[in-house]
Structure formats: C-alpha cells, structure tokens
Amino acid sequence: MGGDAAAVAKLETFFTQLNATRYAPYDWSGNEPGEWAPWLFDYLGAPAQTQRVVRATADTEYADAPVDEPGNDDLGAIASWCVWAAVGLFPVTPGAADLALASPLFPTVSIVLPDGRRLDLRAPGAAASRPYVHALTVTGVSRPATRPTGCSTPTAPRPSADSWDRPWLPASVIKSGGTLTYTLSGTPDPAWASSAASSPPSFGGGAIPAVGYSFPSGTTAIAAGQPTAVQLGVVPAVLTATSVDWQASPLPSGLQLTPSSGSLDLASSGAAGTCSAASAVDPITESLTLTAASAGSYTLRIVMHTSGGQPLPPVDLVVQASAG
C-alpha cells in the first residue's frame, strides 16, 4: 500500500462515496465484507478518520425509523454494524476480541457482560455532530503489552486509570469490564492516539515474506516474432530482508523468456529494534524479454520461492500473440 500515509490517502478517496454499490470503486457500506473498512484508519495512525467515517455512515445510511437499511441485513449483519457504530466499538479481526474505537453516539452506554461485570461508556455532550475524540480515560482495563512492527521489546501491561492513548481496547476488556470516559468534539484531533505505538495489533504469524507480480499483469498482447519487454517485480510483505529466486516453469513451447530465471533481493525496511522501522519499501523489479515464435495463446508461469526454500504465490501471465 506504500506505507501508512499512502494507505490513508487511498482510504480517504475510497470513502468519498458511501454505499456506492458493487459497480463503483468506493465504499459499499450495505455489503457485509466492507463493514470493517471504516475502522482501518485506527491501524494507520489516523483514528480521527475512523471516527468521521463511522459517524457519517451511521448518520446518512441508517435512519431512526422503520425504513430500509443500506443493504441486505443477512441475519442481522448490517443492523449489528449500526449498533457497534453507535457504541463506538468494533471487532475488526476475525477470531480476535480486540475492539477498535470510534466514539459513542450516546452520552452513556452500559454493556452488561456475561459474569455481571459492566463496560460503561461515558461521553458527556455526545451527539451525531460530535464524533471526534479529544481525550479518553479508562479505568479497570489493563493497558495491553504491544509493540508496532519493528520494535524490539513490548512494554509490560499495567493498569490504566488515566489517559488512554490507543484507538483500541484489548480482548481482556470482555472479561474485566471497565469504564471509558470520553471528551468529544465536532472538530478532529489529529494528535490523539495517532502514534505508531498506539495502533492496534496486526497478526502477522504465518505471513508470506513477499509477493511477486508482473507488468503488464493478467494478460498481455504481443506480436509474434517481436521481442517485448515485461517487468517482473517483488514487493515485501514483512519488514525483514529476504531474497527471492524465480524461474519460468515450464516455458510453453513457442515462447521464449530472457532471462528465464534469476533472483531479486529485498532489503529490510528499517533498523532492527527501533519503533520507527516501519516504512514503505519500493518493489524490486527486473526487465525481461518475451518472444513468441508464432501466433497463439500462451500461459507463462513464474515460480517463486525465498532463498530459504519457502514457496511464494506464482505469477501467471497470459500472452496473446498475433501474427506479425
């Protein structure tokens, strides 16, 4: 995505239209797979944008009346999103109970937990036009031990009875309960909970270290007998350095690729052990020459693996060769 700032810019463009339906490259808030998208700003150092988009969606796509919802409710999925939005909490990651934060719509919200404990949200002056968090204090919840990707040692959990500088709550709050007290405003506060150390955890276990691609991608048209340049690239998916070996395997009869194998080295995106390590890394590319001996349709597959032998997704390119 090019780093946090670039991802935020793309998301801001994405949310210039709300519930734009399946045929537009914008938000489709009436479709269940898009429910988590407004909360992604919390992960990118821009929680005020989560607060803005969540409230805007709730205000414009839902009505305090027995009228249509923005999409197919499908066993309560869309209606439940509205409840989460009104409370200002959302479980973004499937299988994890961490809760991303927006802001409560109501001055007081009390959630009774299964063991009788309570999660109380207090937001004096809360209103539809006041979605922005300027301050938050939390009592009864242990501050989570987390670190942004690239940091060396997480801080130990400690009870928090003072200012809360993170746009999320740990899963432990479901058992412990607690009290959240908000100071809300009609204007954003870009400083609140926007540091890299404040972001919710991302779960990278089992992640592949890199992803390959070609340019053009998918399908390309060439003239038979005419050498054509294509780009093979690799973009890192983690912050550690790695080397990717690739090979055309097998080359279809009648198709020539020069070179037909090679290696691409990806550098680390930051110094180990520093909390400022997470930054965008440019893809590594190599120019290849593709030639078809005769007209026809070919499928070129590039097989990739790390220097340590870990397989990576292959890159497939359909080549349509016309008579020269």
pLDDT of residue 55: 96
pLDDT of residue 156: 43
pLDDT of residue 89: 97
Rounded Cα distance between 197 and 210, Å, is 24
Rounded Cα distance between 33 and 294, Å, is 44
pLDDT of residue 310: 92
Rounded Cα distance between 130 and 62, Å, is 17
pLDDT of residue 73: 82
Quick one: pLDDT band at residue 246, thresholds 50, 70, 90?
Answer: very high
Scanning the chain, the segments in alpha helix (DSSP H) are: 4-14, 47-61, 77-87, 173-176
If one counts every other C-beta atom within 10 angstroms of the C-beta of residue 89, the result is 23
Rounded Cα distance between 257 and 300, Å, is 9
Q: In what order do the strands lie in the sheet with 255-258?
A: 210-215, 228-236, 284-292, 255-258
Q: What would the DSSP string read from start to end of 88-115? A: TEE--STT---EEE---SSSEEEEE-TT
192-230 confidence digits (pLDDT tens): 999 988 999 887 667 788 999 999 999 999 999 999 999
Looking at the predicted structure, is the pLDDT value of residue 49 above 60? yes
What percent of the chain shows pLDDT beyond 70? 89
**Residue 153 or 37, more confident:** 37
Residue 3 structure tokens: 């780093």
Quick one: pLDDT band at residue 87, thresholds 50, 70, 90?
Answer: very high
Structural domains in the chain, sorted by start: 4-198 (3.30.2080.10), 210-322 (2.60.40.10)
pLDDT of residue 268: 65
If one counts every other C-beta atom within 10 angstroms of the C-beta of residue 91, the result is 16
**Burial of 268 from C-beta contacts in 10 A (0-12 / 13-18 / 19+):** middle
Quick one: pLDDT band at residue 278, thresholds 50, 70, 90?
Answer: very low
Is residue 252 a contact partner of residue 301, using CB atoms and an 8 Å limit? no
Is residue 201 a contact partner of residue 81, using CB atoms and an 8 Å limit? no
Rounded Cα distance between 144 and 179, Å, is 16
Q: What's the count of helices (H) and strands (E) in the chain, helices before strands?
A: 4, 18
Going by the DSSP 8-state scheme, the letter that residue 26 receives in this structure is S
Of 30-34, 61-65, 113-117, 278-282, which range is least confident? 278-282
How far is the CA of 111 from the CAs of 87, 173, 176, in angstroms? 10, 11, 12
Q: How far apart are the first and last CA of the chain?
A: 38
pLDDT of residue 267: 78
pLDDT of residue 276: 41
Quick one: pLDDT band at residue 148, thresholds 50, 70, 90?
Answer: very low
